[in-house]
Amino acid sequence: MRLLTAAGQRELDRLAAAEAALPTRVLMENAGAAVARAVLELRPRKVVAFCGPGNNGGDGSVAARLLRESVPEVYVWFTRAPDGLKGDAAVAAKAWQAACSSTPCSAVAFPARPKAPKRTPSGR
């Protein structure tokens, strides 16, 4: 398996979109579906998808949406509120939320930023 940097993956997505005339949203749906298939092979009863603000987070939203059809509990933990997302990641998060409005989702979580602990004068 070859690992790519974020910049390398963006370039690969750009080339696929430009040279193969594939919309990036289609690439995201395909990636999310591949993740969902791999997860289903493990036969989980519960899945938690951690979704960041970029396209990998969008892949996670797609996978979670598809997994809801077969897995009893699917949770999505967004590292940024979906209304702050952009592009395809925002579209994927909205599709997850729309799926949740038609049938109940187990959870959609938006983490609060933890406060830094107060330091005492001794530094502890």
Element (H, E) at 60: helix 55-67
Instruction: Choose which CATH entry (1.20.1440.230, 3.40.50.10260, 3.30.1330.30, 3.40.50.300) describes domain 22-109.
Output: 3.40.50.10260
- Domain boundary assignment for the chain: 22-109
Is the Cα torsion angle 95, 17, 86, 62 positive or negative in sign? positive
Beta-ladder partners of 107? 75
Angle between helix axes 87-102 and 55-67 (nearest 10 degrees) is 20
pLDDT tens-digit series, residues 47-68: 999 999 998 999 999 999 999 9
SS3 91: helix
**What is the rounded distance in angstroms from the CA atom of residue 117 to the CA atom of residue 53?**
26
Rg (CA), the chain: 17
| pTM of structure | 0.77
Whether residue 17 is predicted with pLDDT greater than 70 in this model: the reply is yes
pLDDT tens-digit series, residues 84-115: 899 999 999 999 988 887 666 655 556 555 55
